[in-house]
Structure 1
């Protein structure tokens, strides 16, 4: 009596045929690799079942293992699709957020600011410890000290200050870029402190390949979104 081909022989021959066809398709499309797709994998599995030798059927363990491989392949492809969808949604959300920031004022840690001296400018000093004497010096574009804001004794933390755009003699100063230098007396030693100053968002640069979005600020250049202390109107 002549018996049908064994599962291994039929499966091997069919697998070789599918891989050759996959390689041909990849060559035509420019795709790399020769991995079987889920449809080809399922075709192989069905063909193996159809061509089993009834006198020597496929082992249950082998059959379950192939089903597990198919399940894993399906799960990975579904996961990849979900991640791609999430990434697209995140980019859309980031673009919407970016468009809403243009024209708004933000607070950023810096020592320079473009100031409209016709109205009050608000900033803050980052005190690392309690200070018995705290002050902020305002310098014009030529580096000349035009105003000293005395803030007195302060506890550690963020200390707010306001500049009315006037010099020490009470005269209104021209609008432009000014530098702010904060000093605190900590344990009897004059210590430089950092300042948070306002800036206007002129444009936004979207991050690519996972890079962080950056804000382009008037007079300051590009600053990462994570460096922004607060966002105003």
Structure 2
């Protein structure tokens, strides 16, 4: 008897299909929710109307199915959320952010940017900058500044406030070395001199994911800061 190639191929395909179905049946030992509902409906349709069965156990098991399914969906959503946070975290490393702080790190050839909020206009704002040993590096008189946010940039030598480079007697040959610095900014507000809350820029060295998926930024010269406390991504 002659067997064609097509017939042989069909036989092999059929055998593989049967084998696959058998393996699927062997590996599927658990009762799914759909099959459970079908079984429950079949039982209800075929019960004795004069002596109905107690379906409380079915309902209880159905509630368990729903709870498990809900937990699985929640777990899937949480894993997706964590993955998205991890992706966002990786994109922040190496970037500069602005947070509330009075210390930051000046890198070689870089700048430290920052801001303060003035409730009232002032005529005597002053920026004092100290190094890591606490020694005063520069004390820069700013002068008149309007109410609102005052933005400044410092490159280790010159200070720019609200986009305007200050004309003061800076030592042209002296540039602050790279390192950690503390900024103290004072101004007269409502008739008395007071220290202003300062926000400074810092580079993101690394990011960790804390409890409940919170992003914790590890900032150069500042330390660990929750991402929700970032005022600006530079």
- Please classify the TM superposition score into its range, dividing by the shorter chain length: 0.5 to 0.7
Aligned match of 1:114: 105
Aligned match of 1:193: 196
Render the CA deviation track for 1:176-222: whole Å, top value 9, x for unaligned.
111101112012201111111111111111123x1521011122221
Aligned match of 1:84: 75
Distance, in Å, in 1 between the alignment partners of 2:120 and 2:214 is 32
Equivalent residue of 1:173, what SS?
A: coil
Which deviates further from its counterpart, 79-88 or 162-171? 162-171
Equivalent residue of 1:97, what SS?
A: helix
Distance, in Å, in 2 between the alignment partners of 1:130 and 1:70 is 70
The alpha-carbon distance between structure 1 residues 231 and 97, as it changes in their structure 2 partners (threshold 3 A), is same
Aligned match of 1:179: 182
The alpha-carbon distance between structure 1 residues 53 and 137, as it changes in their structure 2 partners (threshold 3 A), is same
Q: Is contact 1:132-1:186 (8 Å) kept?
A: no
Task: Give the Å deviation of 1:228.
Answer: 1.2
Q: Does 1:53 align with 2:42?
A: no
Q: Name structure 2 gaps, 5 residues minimum.
A: 1-31, 159-169
- TM-score w.r.t. length of structure 1: 0.68
The alpha-carbon distance between structure 1 residues 118 and 41, as it changes in their structure 2 partners (threshold 3 A), is closer
Equivalent residue of 1:219, what SS?
A: coil
Aligned match of 2:114: 123
Q: Name structure 1 gaps, 5 residues minimum.
A: 1-36
The alpha-carbon distance between structure 1 residues 117 and 181, as it changes in their structure 2 partners (threshold 3 A), is farther
Distance, in Å, in 1 between the alignment partners of 2:152 and 2:97 is 16
The alpha-carbon distance between structure 1 residues 106 and 72, as it changes in their structure 2 partners (threshold 3 A), is same
Aligned match of 2:156: 165
- Number of residue-to-residue matches in the alignment: 191
- TM-score w.r.t. length of structure 2: 0.67
Aligned match of 1:213: 215
Distance, in Å, in 1 between the alignment partners of 2:81 and 2:186 is 42
Q: Which of residues 199, 207, 223 in structure 1 aligns to 2:225?
A: 223
The alpha-carbon distance between structure 1 residues 67 and 129, as it changes in their structure 2 partners (threshold 3 A), is farther
The alpha-carbon distance between structure 1 residues 44 and 183, as it changes in their structure 2 partners (threshold 3 A), is same
Q: Is contact 1:45-1:66 (8 Å) kept?
A: no
Equivalent residue of 1:169, what SS?
A: coil
Q: Is contact 1:139-1:178 (8 Å) kept?
A: yes
